[in-house]
Chains A and B, each alone.
Chain A
Amino acid sequence: MHIENAPQTERFLKNISAGSQSRRIPVELKEGEKTYDRPWFDLYMFGRTIGRIFGFEDETSEERNRLRKCFLDKVLSPDNVDAPIAKQFFKLIVDRLILSIEIEESKRYYRDAQEVMDDLRKLLNQFGDAHDVKELYPFSRRVIRIPVTRNTECSARIEKLIDCGPVKRLKKHRQLALTYHVYPGVRHVRHEHTLGIVGKTLDYVRALYADKSSVYFRILMDSMHVRALIFAAAVHDVGHGAFGHYLEECEALFTKCSHEDYIQAVLRRKQALYGATIPKEVLKNDRKALLKCAQVWMEDLRSRKRLRVDRFLKLVADILKPPKILNPLQSLNLLTHEDTELALRYILSSIIDSTIDADKLDYLKRDAHHGGLDYAWATDNDRFFQSLTTVLSPPKKSEEKAGDVNTLEPQLPEAENYPTVAVTTKGVEPVECLLVARYQMFRAMYWHKKARAATAVLLQMVFRYFQLHIAKEGVGKVLEYREILLSEFRQRDDDGSIIWLRDELLKLTNLNVEQEGVVKLAMAILERQDLPIRICETSYSRCAPKDRERYQRILELHLWLHRREITDYCWNWSRILLKTMQSIHEKIDSPTNESPQDLYSEIFLDVPLDRSSDKVRNLYVVAGEGDAAHVEPFDTYSVMGKAITDAFGIWAKQLRVFASPELAKIINKQGKSTEEVNALVFDSVYSAYTEVFEEYNKKMLGKKA
């Protein structure tokens, strides 16, 4: 080929011999290192190139430094509200590209240029990579109208999900079980709450995409993650049957049988994760229904990200119960895909289950609305969402920050160090409102004495069901009976479950007199007829100082009791009931009838269990903006976190004893004051717990000997 280019020939030759000053980025390579001939090396070099553009590395000349400064002042000017986010965003991508050189190739975050492009594009849309999740856009034409959340998004695929078998089942179960005996309006069902939490989860996602203080949510989440989150919100209660939370209170009888365990077993297709044996058909049908829904939710995912449906369900399971962080004291970084996947699961999980989750945001207002209470209405949702952000590495408890017991500095709780949703300083007050609302709702509604009386009766019936089965057929088949009960409670509505339980007890009992008692108990729950009457109520704060130690001891022993195996629990519990009843009768000079009818339908104990969910934990505030932003524990900004944790333990939790109307009448006839009766019954409960504990220990020692 002959090239005619005469006018430039001279310059061409001159240039050829001149050499040049390269702007090539110097990189030191180990000799003979073959792994450099891999795509990551180009990506690394590209990372250095864009890092230099954003000023993370020096430019090659003063002139170029000047040019760059002008550019950065223009594009990332402090006046631009989006600038800090954009800067964080590019910094993280550059770090992932550059620092990957320190990490083993298989663990590096980016495997190819396409993944870098996908991440970069997450800054472009309002909803990042989830721009194809149509449910996120406001003013949908397809809504369902429910109380509190009002117009709630109900796209075709949300409709399919909430109408699938396992979720539809929640239409049978009242959200607040027996609380309607006190608040007649709270007959709303779990299904309504499911719709509500889906709506609130969408609000969470919208708010986190609008977050101007942290880029983590935007950069971590793919469309698939957001879909899985919505899916998780809709199925989070699927494991509940009738009286779900109330049965779960009885930990000894329902070990590993919580609603969380159930949904994990279904989503992961691992029956062993659930304590009871789920009938194969039920497990299969539930899973099949969820798989079908998952298929619909993955239909329009771009083919590159198409993954197997069962993997989608596993992601949903991870969101509902994230894998353990092996070393919680070590901060997660986002340079490896392992850490990134863990971090995003924890953040998504905290939207469904944390101190400030979508679940509480929905149920507190919903329950208050139906109950006719105003307590939860003070929560400023708009402000809350406006302040919502994400925290990747909560601060570790340091000696300086922890304060000293002898100083006035607040004692900060042990940081759990899990990535989570958090609030900026603007969100402190809305979070305070939420914490107070929850506390007040527990005091006024969830732990109302009448509701607790009905619950105590229910738990007594359930306990008797186990006891009679064990007495009749031994402990060998206990898991079978437990699953039958759970399965019936799952399939039947609340009242139907009570009737079923009543009939089962009638079949199991031989004595006519006890059968009458069983019918009475069932009627107490169903019709509020002869509901037991409170004869003792105390809390740590209400106890006389001398009794506080005894109160704590009862709680400790109750917890100990629930850590026993089922047979031991049943034996100990029936002894505690018997001894309490005997002691009360002794003290009021009334003869004791130790027939089963009296034993199980005269006295009802309601001793609170120490639950971690009552504690305010893993809650953080992001203070400052841009480069000055830093994370602080919530307790640094508000006394309410610690105060509410204490309030639950000291004021809200009540030890209650209920008596049948007959026994209550006998006690009343004694002419003792309420305080005297309270003290008398408290003494009886304390001595029953301690005596049974000693008896049991002696029995165990005897066995060992």
Chain B
Amino acid sequence: MGGGGIVIECFRKEVPTRKYALKSPRLSVLNTDATQKALNREENERAAKLSHENVVLLISSANISVDAGSPIWAQLMEWVDGAEDLATFIYKNGETPSHLISLFCGALSGLEYIHSQGLIHWDIKTANCLVSKHGVVKIADIGNARDEMGLDKKNEKDEIAYRECPSN
């Protein structure tokens, strides 16, 4: 459960072995006014753009009814099997510096991908870097992501593809 919502494990009746994560905002932040709807839509649009092995995949989103109560807006996401947050996983399973590097690189690879899509995650923390029981890192919770500001990154990189020594 994160600061902005909770995540629960679920599955389709027809394929009970395939699990999904259902994520919804907490009731305290849940409302149905226009602003929140717009925000939800934005988050969906952002998350829907992302497809990378190190980023949690958004499958769908909808208002769902739970036990005949009011509909709650939720996202259906890829389930990260045996997920633990990055720090906890490392504390329990970290063996060697090279093992740590492969985990960090997994997270950074996800970040690099998110940035390449013009997004800034804005909420990177250990709980948003999930590690599956197979050791694959997935960046989760794109809810706070914002569009990148500033120059077009690609152009900038081309211009300074090589870092020159300044004094010459």
Enumerate chain A interface residues (CB-CB to B < 8 A).
Answer: 1-5, 8-9, 11-13, 15-20, 22-25, 34-39, 41-43, 45-46, 49-50, 52-53, 59, 64, 67-68, 70-71, 74-76, 82, 86, 89-90, 111-114, 116-117, 120-121, 123-124, 307-308, 311, 314, 318, 322-326, 337-338, 341-342, 345
Contact = CB atoms under 8 A, between A and B. Distances in A.
B112 A112 contact: yes
A345 B109 contact: no
Nearest to B115: A39
A505 B62 CA distance: 97
A2 B62 CA distance: 9
B86 A3 contact: no
Contact of A12 (B8, B96, B112): B8
Contact of B24 (A11, A16, A318): A16
Given A15-B8, A22-B3, A117 B105 contact: yes
Contacts of B147: 37
A8 B129 contact: no
Nearest to B107: A46
B66 to A, nearest CB: 6
A16 B101 contact: no
B92 A67 contact: yes
Contact of B22 (A5, A337, A341): A5
Given A1-B64, A46-B111, A341 B148 contact: no
B134 to A, nearest CB: 20
A49 B125 contact: yes
B79 to A, nearest CB: 12
Contacts of B114: 42
Given A8-B10, A12-B6, A342-B167, A41 B149 contact: no
Contact of A49 (B25, B87, B120): B87
A70 B3 contact: no
Given A1-B62, A37-B149, 11 more contacts: A4-B12, A5-B22, A17-B26, A23-B85, A23-B126, A35-B149, A39-B115, A52-B87, A112-B157, A326-B167, A341-B164
Contact of A314 (B91, B149, B168): B168
Interface in B1-15: 1-3, 5-6, 8-13
Contacts of B148: 37-39
B164 A75 contact: no
A308 B125 contact: no
30 contacts: A1-B62, A1-B76, A5-B10, A5-B11, A8-B8, A16-B6, A16-B25, A17-B27, A18-B26, A19-B26, A20-B2, A37-B122, A37-B149, A43-B111, A46-B111, A49-B86, A49-B87, A52-B87, A53-B87, A53-B90, A64-B88, A67-B92, A111-B157, A112-B157, A120-B104, A324-B167, A341-B163, A341-B164, A341-B166, A342-B167
Interface of chain A: mostly helix, strand, loop or mixed:
helix
Contacts of A4: 12-13
Given A49-B87, A50-B104, A323 B8 contact: no
A124 B97 CA distance: 8
Interface in B152-168: 153, 157, 161-168
B94 A71 contact: yes
Contacts of B94: 71, 74-75
Binding site of B, secondary structure by majority: helix, strand, loop or mixed?
Answer: mixed
A127 to B, nearest CB: 15
B48 interface: no
Contacts of B112: 112-114, 117
A48 to B, nearest CB: 8
Nearest to B98: A124
A311 B164 contact: yes
Contact of A318 (B10, B25, B165): B165
Contacts of B66: 9, 12-13
B111 A307 contact: no
Contacts of A9: 66-67
A2 B6 contact: no
B28 interface: yes
Contacts of B126: 23, 49, 52-53
Given A38-B120, A53-B90, A323-B167, A307 B161 contact: yes
Contacts of A124: 98, 101
A116 B101 contact: no
Contacts of B115: 39, 42, 112-113
Contacts of A75: 94-97, 100
A18 B3 CA distance: 10
Contacts of A5: 8, 10-11, 22
In the A-B complex, the 7 residue pairs with the smallest Cβ-Cβ separation, listed nearest first, are A323-B167, A45-B124, A113-B112, A22-B3, A67-B91, A37-B149, A307-B162
Nearest to A39: B115
Contact of B3 (A20, A36, A71): A20
Contact of B123 (A24, A307, A314): A24
B149 A34 contact: yes
B136 interface: no
A323 B164 CA distance: 11
Nearest to A76: B97
Contacts of A338: 165-166
Interface string B40-77: 00000000000000000000101011110100101010
B166 A49 contact: no
